[in-house]
Homo-oligomer: A and B are copies of this chain.
Amino acid sequence: MTDAARTKIYVDGPRGMRVPFTEVHQEASPGTGEANAPVRLYDTSGPGSVPERGLPAHRADWIAAREDVETYSGRERHLADDGRSAVRRGAATAEWQGERREPLRARDGRCVTQMHYARGGIVTPEMEYVAAREQCDVELVRTEVAAGRAIIPANVNHPETEPMIIGRRFLVKVNANIGNSAVTSSIAEEVDKLSWATQWGADTVMDLSTGDDIHTTREWIVRNSPVPIGTVPIYQALEKVDGKAEDLTWEVYRDTVIEQCEQGVDYMTVHAGVLLRYVPMTVHRVTGIVSRGGSIMAGWMLAHHQESFLYTHFDELCEIFAQYDVAFSLGDGLRPGSTADANDEAQLSELRTLAELTERAWQHDVQVMVEGPGHVPLNLVEENVRLEQEWCHGAPFYTLGPLVTDVAPGYDHITSAIGAATIAMHGTAMLCYVTPKEHLGLPDRDDVKTGVITYKLAAHAADVAKGHPGARDWDDALSKARFEFRWNDQFNLSLDPDTARSMHDETLPAEAAKTAHFCSMCGPKFCSMKISQDVRERFANDGMQQMSRTFVELGSSVYVEAGAGE
């Protein structure tokens, strides 16, 4: 039933492009027999891939047609790209088995970013695809990207993506973090988490691997990903210097960035706002520096008593990103790790610097989003997005939660969904999910699903609260199905049909119950929805409605008389 009524469709877009949606077909209303229109939902699941082969490069022609990129031999591969264990073994495990393309980069003197095109008045296929997905005018897409208020992460070396946009004027997006660590998991598991996350609605995925085979794991993920992939290059750079922060250099970092640009990473978290003079501001915090990138750079700066090379080489980084169309995700290395540290001097000082870096990146036509906290009491959440939008000239805000209390480990997908829905309502463009394992362990498959669904509902709640065009139609369709006891329609319209259906079946397993005009809460004997429908029937004819209006004006006595007649 679910499969038949809930299907993936492709809508024809401009230039013969096919734009994916999930379409939910509904039954007619019982009684009236009135038809209920199918509901179209945004779809991130991609066409599906065989992991060993990866996805088709459907954007390749669009990129080539612009005639502003060239192929080149690319950076030389080193065993160290896969970490110390690979070096020990003398080989990388699970070498990528699919097609290997020569990397692309901008031709000399060209800039290949979507921001550059948008500013030049060019409407790209990526923009048209995005407009079709968002069901909005493509000019809105172009102007928002041109202004820096939205980004379309689309590395020329990741032609497998279905373009999407991140900006406050568009649907609120959700990112899912995956990736291995020194103590867990395999490449196959991570690729499975990727597909699982996008199946449930993840709009982008970050590969935060810090363990073995980083390069190869990322290759498998990028080649199989229909959504933009984000990374934090400093993690791999740290691997290349054997985990010793003080041994990091701009050269090692630069080499890592180019390695990842060539693989097709669409956006990279760069903690360039953590300046040497901000580090002392964290000394009296309850939880100091909790961002890995932030603490790595703090460690480096203290060891060398020098300003962060991410800051001093920022323009060079912009030049590299512009050649591949990699977007900055300016990391908040000094984000609060506890409600006590929220909105403090360290956090806000860094935000000021991220605002400065945003403008510098824009001078290179490089796309930028800005990362936000973290742990923030609910009364301080709005201020975070207000300041970011004000200081960073509307650059898209991308926040982790925030968690609104520290006392519920094991439930931090919920403590953070509260902050996430609120901050998104006030203008955050993308939410980084938090799973139940936050602070406790690495998310497994179930945690990934729980995290994604929780954040999709938070993001949608924000779309509804913002009055985003058409957002509430989905709620209204499901509520109407619920009110009319169209159980299967209610399940199929749910963010997670499987869970809704199985929970219903726990108390009323019979298929008959799917059409029953009652549920297990009240039982067959009495049902408020049923009575409520009777009420509606009583008032169904216009005469009665006219009378009830009079009645509302004149008060009940009149009504009783009038009503007594029927």
What residues make up the interface of A, taking CB atoms closer than 8 Å to B? 181-184, 210-211, 238, 243, 245, 275-277, 279-283, 286-292, 294-296, 298-299, 302, 305-307, 337-340, 375, 377-380, 404-411, 413-415, 417-418, 421-422, 425, 436-437, 439-442, 444, 453-454, 456-458, 460-462, 464-467, 472, 474-476, 478-480, 482-483, 490-491, 493-496, 499-500, 503-504, 506-508, 519-526, 528-529, 531-536, 538-539, 545, 548-549, 551-552, 555-556, 559-560, 563-564
Contacts and interface: CB of A to CB of B under 8 A. Distances in A.
Given A405-B457, A418-B417, A504-B441, A378 B425 contact: yes
Given A287-B479, A417-B417, A475-B339, A411 B442 contact: no
Nearest to A479: B338
A328 to B, nearest CB: 21
Given A521-B181, A532-B282, A503 B436 contact: yes
A253 B464 CA distance: 41
10 tightest A-B CB contacts, nearest first = A182-B523, A280-B548, A338-B479, A288-B532, A441-B507, A410-B499, A295-B528, A378-B465, A295-B531, A379-B465
B286 A476 contact: yes
Contact of A475 (B210, B294, B406, B465): B406
Nearest to A495: B408
Nearest to A437: B503
A391 to B, nearest CB: 19
A6 to B, nearest CB: 13
Contact of A409 (B494, B539, B556): B494
A408 B211 CA distance: 35
Contact of A411 (B286, B295, B495): B495
A448 to B, nearest CB: 14
B479 A526 contact: no
B499 A411 contact: yes
A563 B409 contact: no
Contacts of A294: 528
12 contacts: A181-B520, A277-B559, A282-B535, A290-B529, A291-B528, A339-B479, A407-B493, A409-B500, A417-B418, A418-B418, A440-B507, A441-B506
B441 A184 contact: no
Contact of A238 (B280, B504, B526): B526
A158 to B, nearest CB: 26
A462 B381 CA distance: 12
A439 B380 CA distance: 33
A519 B182 CA distance: 10
B475 A519 contact: no
B407 A522 contact: no
B529 A405 contact: no
Contacts of A379: 425, 465-467
Contacts of A462: 378
A177 to B, nearest CB: 10
Given A183-B520, A405-B464, A528-B294, A286 B480 contact: yes
A339 B482 CA distance: 13
Contacts of A183: 507-508, 520, 523-524
B464 A378 contact: yes
Nearest to A379: B465
A500 B520 CA distance: 32
A275 B551 CA distance: 12
A186 B415 CA distance: 34
Given A472-B377, A500-B410, A461 B276 contact: no
A565 to B, nearest CB: 10
B441 A519 contact: yes
B526 A406 contact: no
B494 A442 contact: no
Given A472-B339, A525-B182, A528-B291, A411 B555 contact: no
Contact of A560 (B306, B522, B531): B306
Given A377-B472, A545-B280, A508 B441 contact: yes
Contacts of A408: 453, 456-457, 460, 494-496
A183 B513 CA distance: 12
